[in-house]
Amino acid sequence: MEKFVESKKYTSKKVAFGTLMTLALFVLVGCSQNVVAEMPENFAGIFPAIHIETVLPIDRRIWEDAVVTMSGTDSEFVFEGVEGRIRGRGNSSWRLEKTPFRIRFDEARTMLDSNHAARDWTFIPNHSDKSLMRNYSAYHLATLLDGMYFAPFARFVDVYFNGEYQGVYMLSVQVQVNEGRAELVYDSNPFLSEYLIEMDTRVPQDYDSEEGVTFVTVGERHYDILFPRGNDLTFAHVEYIRSFLGKVDDLIHAHDYAVFEHIHLPSFVDFYIVQELYKNVDVGYASVFMQIRGHGEERRLEMGPVWDFDIAAGNAYFQGRNSMGEYYPYYYSPHGLWAAWTNSWFRNLMYMPKFFEAVTVRWNEIENVEIRATIDHIMFMAEEYYHAFGRNFERWPILGEEIWPNPQRVVEIDTFQGQVGYLVEWLEIRKIGLGNFLNQNR
């Protein structure tokens, strides 16, 4: 596999926002094959409003009582005075001024057009992402693909705490087992039970985590067991997960084609493409979700859902180490393979002709349909909700300011339009580069 060369000279074309919007309109009207998400019937360029009455400040570990009201949307999604609880969430994003949080209702309920009821919902601030679009667009792309069993729901909302406007948040799911999310079946027999797992190097640092009890270590990587939990998660279940992941890990690193009897290839391919397209920082060490699903000969390890893209797609420039302790500089350029380098599974799978060919075929299927539609949708949302997004930056005047881990190129862009233009251009360049790399190395 030849290297997709990393360029350290990325120069913005400084495409004007109006030109981008004109291009978006041309593509949406002129290319009938594109898949474009439909907007709500009451679409008027404003976001639904979530009003939360609670004790401030919110804490990341302590649940506080909250009363929640939804307004500014279709009547079927409006509710008032619903009781629940609230607490903070997140890791690095929790240290920023505009903090993420999670709401747990007393009873399961749908949120907007989610089409499924659940007690837990997350609110993502996207404070490091001044386009506010990276998480949203990556999740949007995942919903257009069918290889992964579960793609995160995502909608923008205006958030108010005790009557005070807090900015634009992305309402999304909590990655958990629930109807409409990861629909898994528990069994006391570990060979029959299904599992939800996250590869996360930070899990040993959690105060309530214990190796061999709530997480396992395979190939020096830590895997948090999200389902089953509590008394349902027995020692036998934990050791089954360790053995299953260990077998997959060994087969992948040996480039043994027997691995395809243990992994769900379509989900691995779609998951990889989304991660690589966005050059997602986290894919080598955290927020890598997977599920063990099915029974008998149909039992497979499936990848997904995709998660956590706020500092992806050219929005980070720092140095760190991956889960193996290997040094890796993340450069914001749209060039260079990333998921196939920093994630050891994908690094080895991409050297296996069967996987490489599957990725290339899938890429060619979706490049000018789902990927094209995702980029167009970014521009569409930015134009139609321009004033709603603008209010966020009145509340949080961070344009032109450094928010960790923005590269200098992002810091220098002091308008929302410019931030969106940068993201769109970055994805366009990366789309072309990845397509060329895959097809030239078949």
| Domain assignment of residue 438, yes or no | no
| Domain assignment of residue 95, yes or no | yes
| Domain assignment of residue 132, yes or no | yes
What is residue 5's predicted lDDT score, i.e. its pLDDT? Answer: 46
Q: What DSSP character marks residue 351?
A: T
Which tokens sit at 441?
Answer: 């190395």
| Domain assignment of residue 135, yes or no | yes
pLDDT digits (tens, 9 = 90+) for 295-304: 999 999 999 9
Query: What rounded mean pLDDT belongs to the chain?
Result: 89
Peptide bond into 152 cis (omega under 30): no
Neighbouring residues of 250: CB distance < 8 A, sequence distance ≥ 6 = 256
- The pTM for the full model equals 0.89
Using DSSP's 3-state secondary structure scheme, residue 241 falls into helix
What is residue 327's predicted lDDT score, i.e. its pLDDT? Answer: 58
Residue 22 one-letter amino acid: T
Pairing, β 79-88 against β 164-173: unpaired
Measured CA to CA, the distance from residue 313 to residue 339 in angstroms comes to: 12
What is residue 45's predicted lDDT score, i.e. its pLDDT? Answer: 84
For the chain, the distance separating the N- and C-terminal CA atoms, rounded to the nearest angstrom, is 9
Residue 64 one-letter amino acid: E
Tokens 């900015």 identify what position?
167
Q: Give the DSSP letter string of 71-91.
A: ESS-GGG-EEEEEEEEEE--S
Residue 91 one-letter amino acid: N
Measured CA to CA, the distance from residue 151 to residue 170 in angstroms comes to: 15
Peptide bond into 57 cis (omega under 30): yes
Measured CA to CA, the distance from residue 103 to residue 119 in angstroms comes to: 8
Residue 413 one-letter amino acid: I
**What ranges in 254-397 are assigned the alpha helix state H?**
265-277, 339-342, 344-349, 353-366, 372-384, 386-395
Residue 347 one-letter amino acid: R
- Chain-centroid distance of CA 105 in Å reads 23
| Domain assignment of residue 97, yes or no | yes
Residue ranges of the chain whose pLDDT lies below 70? 1-44, 207, 319-328
Helix (H) or strand (E) holding 345: helix 344-349
pLDDT digits (tens, 9 = 90+) for 51-105: 999 999 999 989 999 999 999 999 999 999 999 999 999 777 888 999 999 999 9
pLDDT digits (tens, 9 = 90+) for 105-123: 999 999 999 999 999 999 9
Please report, for residues 107, 108, 175, 261, the alpha-carbon distance to residue 85 in angstroms, rounded to integers and kept in the order given.
11, 13, 18, 43
Pairing, β 154-161 against β 195-199: unpaired
Measured CA to CA, the distance from residue 38 to residue 54 in angstroms comes to: 34
What is residue 322's predicted lDDT score, i.e. its pLDDT? Answer: 53
Domain that residue 104 falls in: 49-173
**Side-chain-side CA neighbours of residue 213 (13 Å):** 9
Residue 375 one-letter amino acid: I
Residue 193 one-letter amino acid: S
| Domain assignment of residue 282, yes or no | no
Measured CA to CA, the distance from residue 283 to residue 199 in angstroms comes to: 9
| Torsion of Cα atoms, 209 then 211 then 215 then 218, to 10° | 150
What is residue 344's predicted lDDT score, i.e. its pLDDT? Answer: 94
Measured CA to CA, the distance from residue 92 to residue 126 in angstroms comes to: 11
| Domain assignment of residue 165, yes or no | yes
In total, the chain counts a number of residues equal to 442
Please report, for residues 86, 199, 205, 232, 428, the alpha-carbon distance to residue 211 in angstroms, rounded to integers and kept in the order given.
29, 13, 11, 17, 42
Radius of gyration, alpha carbons of the chain: 21
With b for 16 or more beta-carbon neighbours within 10 A and e for fewer, the 207-221 pattern comes to eebeeeebbbbbbeb
Using DSSP's 3-state secondary structure scheme, residue 221 falls into strand
| Torsion of Cα atoms, 328 then 332 then 333 then 336, to 10° | 30
What is residue 94's predicted lDDT score, i.e. its pLDDT? Answer: 83
| Domain assignment of residue 168, yes or no | yes
- Check: CB of residue 12 under 8 Å from CB of residue 425: yes
| Tally of structural domains, the chain | 1
